[in-house]
Amino acid sequence: MEVLMPEPQICVERTLAIIKPDVIGKEEEIEDLILRSGFHIIQKRKLQLSPEQCSNFYAEQFGKLFFPNLTAYMSSGPIVAMVLARNCAVSYWKELLGPSNSLRARITHPHSLRALYGTDELRNGLHGSLSISSAEKEIRFIFPEAILEPVPTGQRARDYLNLYVKPTLLAALTALCKEKPADPM
């Protein structure tokens, strides 16, 4: 009888998470929720952004009415930035965050992080990348030393597994089978 195994998949994404200045005191509690939600914290750093750095980080929001308040808020104190990784990290993180308006989040997503830690639309407690491309850009901004290699998917992942992983495993398992341990227990 042949056992059918699913095709191996390498589908790990990274996203940026930021604990904003007004909820920095809840850092450990928030990190615990992140880890219990299946994320791995790949990198983490505590820093304080200048108003100019905040303007650059939120450049896509430039021209909107809330932009000056956003940059003032984000530069008002230290933040904790984390690179999170897991399958579909961007979408799962957005789901865990809930709506950007904390008041709306309390009604529609009462168990979301923004419902729990945010106070209003601007002070929503946490930041999350909107897409994979914005996550890469934001991670490079906060962690300029980070190496962001594209994660292979589809045929590239299968080719990598066939070329590098399977031969190594086969050789190691074959060698292991040829060795008879003196005392298996």
Q: Which of 96, 102, 83 is nearest to 147 (CA)?
A: 83
* pLDDT for 107: 96
Sheet of 126-128, strand order: 40-47, 79-87, 12-19, 126-128
Q: d(Cα 63, Cα 3) in Å, to the nearest integer? A: 58
Q: What is the mean pLDDT of residues 43-68?
A: 94
Token match 């957005």: residue?
Answer: 94
Please state whether beta strands 40-47 and 79-87 pair in parallel, antiparallel, or not at all (unpaired): antiparallel
Instruction: Convert the pLDDT of each residue in 132-161 to its tens digit.
Output: 999 999 999 999 987 666 666 677 778 878
| Helix or strand (DSSP H, E) at 48 | none
The two structure tokens encoding residue 130 = 């909107």
Percent share of the chain, pLDDT over 90: 67
Sign of CA dihedral 40, 34, 142, 94: positive
Annotation says 40 is catalytic: no
Q: What is the mean pLDDT of residues 35-60?
A: 95
Q: What is the mean pLDDT of residues 74-99?
A: 96
Strands (E) in the chain, as ranges, are 12-19, 40-47, 79-87, 126-128
Q: What is the mean pLDDT of residues 159-169?
A: 83
* pLDDT for 165: 82
Tell me the sheet residues that pair with 43.
83
The two structure tokens encoding residue 41 = 């914290």
**Level-2 CATH architecture, domain 12-142:** 2-Layer Sandwich (3.30)
Between 114 and 178, residue with greater pLDDT: 114
List where CATH 3.30.70.141 sits in the chain.
Answer: 12-142
Q: What is the mean pLDDT of residues 81-107?
A: 95
The two structure tokens encoding residue 3 = 């056992």
**SS3 label, residue 43:** strand
* pLDDT for 153: 67
